[in-house]
Amino acid sequence: MRARAISRLVGAIAGMVLGIVYGSFILSNNPHAAISTNASEVRAALLAMGVAGAASISLAAPRISVDPFIWLQKTLEEAPPAELLGGVIGLIVALAISALTAVLLADIPWGIGYLVSLGVAAVMIYVGVRTGTRRRGVFLEAFGPAARASSQSLGTERQQGSAMEEDHPIVLDTSALIDGRVLDVARTGFIQRHLLIPHFVLEETQQVADSSDPTRRARGRRGLDVAEALRNGKYVSCEVVDITFPDVADVDIMLLRLCRMRGASLLTQDYNLNRLAATDGIRVLNMNDLANALKPAAVSGEVMEVFVAKEGREPRQGVGYLEDGTMVVIEEGASYVNSVVPVQVVSFLQTPSGRMIFSSLYRAGMHSVPGAGVAEAVLGHVPEQGLPVGPQPPEAQVRPARRTSRRKPSGQ
């Protein structure tokens, strides 16, 4: 906004001066105009020409000054280095050809040679830059084996990182930095895309860190520490993007515009921004969704049915498996091999090699009421001795483990 306002102000001043100069030129070169003999009318005419010039130039100034600069900045930030190099080579070749053409056509009279040379230069510059950016590999190969080797190594590196650096990077907002879990996930190597931290997000995080509230101040400092760790870490590619949108003041809107401009996803913990980005067609990543997807297969106290497949290593232990292959160790379950028994989760162990659930036989309430109501609630039938003993029918033996409740039955 400030850049556009300054551009309009400068344009208005320049337009006023140009309008007055142009009006003076017209009046001085038109002696037959009746208005030229009246000083007050001359001043009014010059003022009108100045106002018209100021209005027209002030409206056009941002489009001929600010907008091209923003476009050039965006192009330079988004273009890969190889594409920029190809464009520069194409520009140099086009200028060389234009200079040779100007020398050959310099002897044509009445300035026609210079006009033709100017037109040829404009066309050659456009063709050269376009060709250089699109066919950059051909130019690099023309410089010999060393350049080809360098280009191949660069191409390999770009190919390895193309998915994360060019195609759909991830933009982080303030809430994601303050949350901090993105750093833990990045350290595991699961984030293969290029991370972008806009400079205006760092400024917002710095404002939180400068807050007088101790809690907000601690959260802001944590966000800055996470950003610094992401930038300096070797486990993920992270870049601070110094880009601004002069016509936008809201950080959320700037984040959405940056995501659209770079074709990026948005990593945020902000619920409102999440919904706004989803409405705008931007892919949203949320650490809470990831945590829900990775939550444990069972929680302590949960009751489930498990098919005891074999005896465990320890005496009187039984071993079963959930549908996802998670091993369930059942205390006192060795006597119920090839049986489906109700178990209650005691603890849960997560290791790099997988998950393991430790459980015990769920005996509570099986003999407390006539008909073993708890066993019927858990198993769907009433066994004679409270637990199914002995081999079960084939359909029972292959039945996968399933949960029956996440809480103990009431009254237990």
173 in the same domain as 136? no
- Shared-domain flag, residues 312 and 391: yes
Backbone CA torsion sign across 181, 187, 188, 189: positive
Could you give the CA distance from residue 216 to residue 194 in angstroms, rounded to a whole number?
28
pLDDT digits (tens, 9 = 90+) for 279-302: 888 999 988 888 887 777 677 888
Do residue 213 and residue 307 come from a single domain? no
Higher pLDDT, 24 or 150: 24
The pLDDT of 397-407, averaged and rounded, is 41
Task: Look at residues 343, 336, 316, 319 and name the one whose alpha carbon lies nearest to residue 396.
Answer: 336
What is the tens place of the pLDDT at every residue in 357-395? 999 998 763 333 333 333 343 344 444 333 443 334 434
Q: Is the pLDDT of residue 146 over 60?
A: no
Return the pLDDT at 226: 92
Is the pLDDT at 150 greater than 80? The verdict is no
Written as six digits, the tokens of 120 are: 């040829």
Task: Give the integer Cα–Cα distance in Å for 410 and 270.
Answer: 37
- Between 124 and 360, the more confident residue is 360
The Cα–Cα gap between 265 and 374 comes to 49
User: DSSP state, 393?
Assistant: P
- Per-residue b/e over 129-163, b at no fewer than 16 CB within 10 Å? bebbbeebeebbeeeeeeeeeebeeeeeeeeeeee
When pLDDT is averaged across residues 150-160 and rounded to a whole number, the result is: 48
Q: Indicate whether 182 and 287 sit together in one domain.
A: yes
Distance separating alpha carbons of residues 111 and 233, to the nearest angstrom: 62
C-alpha to C-alpha distance for 227 and 221, rounded to whole angstroms? 10
**Torsions phi, psi of 328, nearest 5?**
-120, 115
Q: 153 pLDDT exceeds 70?
A: no
Question: Could you tell me if 310 and 300 are in contact, meaning their C-beta atoms sit under 8 angstroms apart?
Answer: no
**310 contacts 281 by C-beta, under 8 angstroms:** no
Band of the pLDDT at 404, cuts 50, 70, 90? Answer: very low
23 falls within a domain:
yes
Segment 6-13 shows an average pLDDT of 86
Helix, coil or strand: residue 179? helix
Cα 268 from Cα 276, distance rounded (Å): 11
Residue with more model confidence, 229 or 155:
229
Does 308 share its domain with 370? yes
Please give the single-letter amino acid code of residue 191.
Answer: I
Q: Residue 351 sits in which domain range?
A: 303-405
Residue 126 placed within a domain? yes
Domain count, the chain: 4
Report if residue 298 sits inside a domain: no
Provide the whole-model pTM. Answer: 0.45
User: Of all residues in the chain, what percent carry a pLDDT higher than 70?
Assistant: 75
DSSP 387: S
CATH of the domain at 212: 3.40.50.1010
Provide DSSP, 222-274. Answer: HHHHHHHHHHH-SSS-EEEE----TT---HHHHHHHHHHHHT-EEE---HHHH
Q: Is residue 411 part of a domain?
A: no
- Indicate whether 267 and 283 sit together in one domain: yes
User: Is residue 412 one of the residues assigned to a domain?
Assistant: no
Q: Are 11 and 112 part of one and the same domain?
A: no
Q: What is the pLDDT of residues 314-367, one digit of tens each?
A: 888 999 988 777 889 999 899 899 989 999 999 888 776 677 899 999 876 333
Residue 28 lies in a domain: yes
CA distance 197 to 262: 13
CB-facing half-sphere around the CA of 17: CA atoms within 13 A: 5
In whole angstroms, give the CA distance from residue 263 to residue 298.
38
Residue 309: its pLDDT value, please? 92
Q: Is residue 328 part of a domain?
A: yes
Instruction: Supply the pLDDT for residue 175.
Output: 92
pLDDT given for residue 174 in this prediction? 93
Tell me which of 14, 37, 64 is where a domain ends.
64
